[in-house]
């Protein structure tokens, strides 16, 4: 009786196929996320994040949510620029930097990112590292968050928000 030769898949093509599958699972989601949520002003965001010890992803998220990365954005309440800073807050921030506040400076992406990053860091420290409170205060105002914390409808303990109220609050 003649012995039959076993057919084997060559290992190299099989290993390459496995490698491609792994790369697809690991790399594709990142590539897809980057194309769906591109980060603009990445160098400026990374620089400010490093200077003020904040996560660059947090800054990018704030810029994306606040202005959709539009340096010329103006909200219905009057917040300006990429990081959507109110002019009064911008004047206060300029003073913190020893700068003269000028109309239109908040439309400059580098200034907006620098001011917004410093302010977000300030709010993070003010609210004890709680990013929920800090970002709520960035968007709605720190006085507003203080009122929410004092209201038992929104905070059971005055330290954390149980509910972030809508615009009617």
Of 42, 44, 50, 66, catalytic: 66
Contact at 8 Å (CB) between 123 and 89? no
What is the rounded distance in angstroms from the CA atom of residue 4 to the CA atom of residue 9?
Answer: 16
99 is catalytic: no
Contacts of 24 (CB under 8 A, 6+ apart): none
Among 110, 111, 120, CA closest to 41: 110
Two tokens, residue 134:
């800090």
Whether the CB-CB separation of 145 and 154 falls below 8 Å is answered with no
Helix-helix angle 56-67:42-51, to 10 degrees: 130
CA angle 138, 91, 106 (to 5 degrees): 70
Residues known to be catalytic: 66
């Amino acid at each position: 009786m003649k012995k039959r030769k076993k057919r084997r898949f060559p290992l190299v093509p099989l290993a390459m196929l496995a490698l491609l599958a792994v790369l697809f699972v690991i790399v594709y989601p990142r590539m897809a996320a980057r194309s769906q949520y591109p980060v603009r002003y990445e160098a400026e965001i990374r620089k400010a994040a490093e200077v003020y010890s904040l996560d660059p992803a947090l800054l990018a998220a704030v810029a994306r949510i606040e202005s959709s990365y539009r340096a010329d954005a103006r909200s219905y309440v009057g917040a300006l620029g990429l990081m959507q800073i109110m002019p009064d807050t911008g004047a206060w921030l300029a003073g913190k930097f020893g700068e003269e506040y000028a109309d239109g400076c908040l439309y400059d992406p580098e200034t907006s990112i620098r001011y917004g990053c410093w302010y977000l860091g300030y709010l993070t420290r003010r609210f004890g590292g709680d990013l929920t409170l800090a970002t709520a205060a960035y968007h709605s105002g720190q006085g507003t968050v203080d009122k929410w914390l004092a209201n038992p409808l929104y905070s059971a303990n005055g330290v954390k928000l149980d509910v972030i109220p809508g615009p009617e609050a």
